Every structure is written in structure tokens, then in C-alpha cells.
Amino acid sequence: MTPQVRIPATYMRGGTSKGVFFRLEDLPERARTPGDARDRLFRRVIGSPDPYGAHIDGMGGATSSTSKCVIVSPGTRAGHDVDYLYGQIAIDSGAVDWSSNCGNLSTAVGAFAIQAGYVDPASAVDGRCTVRIWQANIGKTIVAHVPVADGRVVEMGEFELDGVAFPAAEIVLEFVDPADASDALFPTDNLVDTLPVAEEVMAGGTIRATLINAGVPTVFVEAEALGYTGAELREAINGDAGALARFEALRTAGAEAMGIVKTTRAPAIAFVASPIDHRTSSGREMPAGEVDLLVRALSMGKLHHAMMGTASVAIAAAAAVPGTLVNMAAGGGDRTSIRFGHPSGALRVGAEAHQANGQWIITKAVMSRSARVLMDGHVHVPADSF
């Protein structure tokens, strides 16, 4: 008989995602370094690959928002409290993607760092503990402002996050210099590009797009060009195989224009529109005046139930630059913050943008999320699975 291995772990919600969090030192020794053993361990923890698409035999939730693992360890970079490494596990293939960040789970990293003993809550100022996080996947700094009281993380509060059923305490995140330093904010040097695509994808063989490199490389197109209003819910897109194939073709065209090697998850693709009265996935009627624009984004080939945190950074950055499709959908002009509508409701994000030597630069993107521990203890996996 093969015994099971018990590994200390914490199951956390961060923003509109959930994941299994580990301290690096708690992992089995052969999984403490990158490689096949770590990948196989995380696949087994989540329950992938799963031909049934249900993650019954693992901790995953069979969606792109819930098939995630996180490793946190003491900071190795000057001026940072912790290192944060994120793995996205594919449901069907079990592939583990280490190439990007999860902006939603970033919210939980600061709270986990305090609870794990990496950051002293006594360092809090005015009830908030500042945790400087090195996001090791993409080499970026994230600053989390986590509420604390009596030496403990405050998890409960009145902050409401659309896409999450219950209120919690607000955590403010700052994504510092969110654009990839190896490339320009706009890789093509254009605020709007005309992408060539096959006639069967788009009548006329072209589509306008804003290609931006912030948070996650993102291809923004106009909802109207696709025959959408921008208020579509998941069922309208995810149940349409033709629509998903078209989005993948557009995403691929954007990736080629940006010079990105084709992968299954980067760049992201999203469509934008000016606000209209619409209904959210919870059934709430949202008047057009409550948001500045509407945005829908796809994650792992499916329309996201709310909005990926990294895509929210891209939205904030694009909205801050006059002339992008995102900025124009929001009404144009100079903007330091916007409130955008997504399938589950709305979210306010902000960004600081300026020009230097003819290039647009985003120094910081800011958003509020919440996080809490759902369960902690040990996760069990067969000893021969990694």
C-alpha cells in the first residue's frame, strides 16, 4: 500500500480566487526547488489532470479561479518581506504554468505572510501592516496594506467585493511598475492597432485592438465589433464554441503582434464597451451610471466570472492613457481611476501614468480586494505521486 504524505497547508480565498498556500520550508524536500517533483505534487494537490473536469480527487474547484497553488517564503530581495511564487494548474492536462501572476491571490499573500510568521504585525501603522512582496514569477513588487488588530490579521469587515458572497476586511494592493521592464507598455508603439485576422474570424479580415503590457499582457477589443454589448454573462460566451474559437484566434493574433511566444494563457483577451443598463450574474440590475465602462475577459479559454486581478491592472493602466480603446470606452480624457463593470458587478481600480521620452509609463496600479483563511492544517497526497 502507498501511504499518504501530510503537508502543512492553508486554503485561502484571495479576491475572487481560491488557492492552496504553502510555506516553502513546509514542502517535501524534493519539491522545494523548481522541477518535475514540484509540478507533480501541485497537480496531485489540485486533482489534475481530471478528464471529468470536476477536481473531485483534489483541492481544486474545476475553474481557472480555483485551480491554483502558492508558495511563500522569506524575502530574498532587499526591501522585500516575502517571496511569492504562483502556479496555475490546468484542469484537463495538468500543465503547471509558472509564467504569470494571480492578482487576486496576491491579496491573500500579505495576510498569509503575517499569519505564517514572516512579518511582525507589531510593525503596523494606524491599524495596517505593510507587506512588501516580491512576485517571483514575473519579477515585480507588490505592496499589500493588511488590516491588523491585537497582533492578528483582521479578516472580517464591511468591504464588499462583487463576485464574493460575503463582506470582509479591505486589503489595498499596489502593483509597482506593473509593465514588463523588458518591453514597452505598448509593445507595438501604438495605442490602437489594426490586427489582421482570417475572414471567418472577422468580416473584413481586421479588428481594432489595444495591446498593452501591464499586469498581464492583454489584448483589448471592442464589444461592438464582435456583435456584443459588453454586458454578456458567462453562459452567453462559454456555451458558444464558435465564440470561444474566435476569441482564441484574436488572442493569438494579438500575441503575434506583441511578439509573445504563443502559450495557452498569455496574453489575456478582453472586450470593452461603454456602459449600459444591465443585469449582473447575481441578478442585480446595474444602471449604466454606476460604472465608467464594461469589461469582459477570458481566462484559460473561458469568460471569467468576475475579473482576473492581473487583467484589472491592465484595465487600470489602459484607462489611464488617453486614446486607448479602454480609455475611449470610459469616455476618454485623463483618468487616474475608473470603476468598470464585470459579470459579477463592478470594481474600482486606479493607475498613475506619465510620458517620458515619448513612451507611456505606469508607475503604480492600485486596487482593493479582500482575503481570508478558509481552512488550515494539512493537505494529503499519495507518497508516490511526486
Measure the CA–CA gap between 1 and 118, rounded to whole angstroms: 38
Cell numbers that stand for 145 in this block: 496594506
For the chain, give the number of residues.
386
* Residue 264, pLDDT score: 44
Please check whether residue 209 is in contact with residue 247, taking contact to mean a CB–CB distance below 8 angstroms. Answer: no
Measure the CA–CA gap between 99 and 12, rounded to whole angstroms: 21
Measure the CA–CA gap between 215 and 64, rounded to whole angstroms: 17
> pLDDT tens digit string along 297-312?
998 899 999 999 999 9
* Residue 1, pLDDT score: 85
Please check whether residue 384 is in contact with residue 372, taking contact to mean a CB–CB distance below 8 angstroms. Answer: no
Q: Where are the extended beta strands (E) located within 300-385?
A: 302-303, 337-342, 345-356, 359-369, 371-382
Domains in the chain and their CATH numbers? Answer: 4-170+371-385 (3.10.310.10), 193-364 (3.10.310.10)
pTM of the model: 0.90
* Residue 234, pLDDT score: 95
Give Cβ neighbours of residue 85 (< 8 Å, ≥ 6 apart): 70, 71, 72, 73, 98, 136, 137
332 burial (CB, 10 Å; 0-12 / 13-18 / 19+) is exposed
Measure the CA–CA gap between 68 and 15, rounded to whole angstroms: 13
* Residue 184, pLDDT score: 86
Residue that the C-alpha cell 484566434 belongs to: 249
Measure the CA–CA gap between 92 and 89, rounded to whole angstroms: 9
Measure the CA–CA gap between 74 and 136, rounded to whole angstroms: 12
Q: Name the residues annotated as catalytic.
A: 102, 308
Pick out the chain residues at pLDDT < 70.
Answer: 180-183, 261-265
Q: How far is CA 280 from the centre of its chain?
A: 20
For 355, the 3-state DSSP assignment is strand
For 385, the 3-state DSSP assignment is helix
* Residue 183, pLDDT score: 67
Other CB atoms within 10 A of residue 315 CB: 32
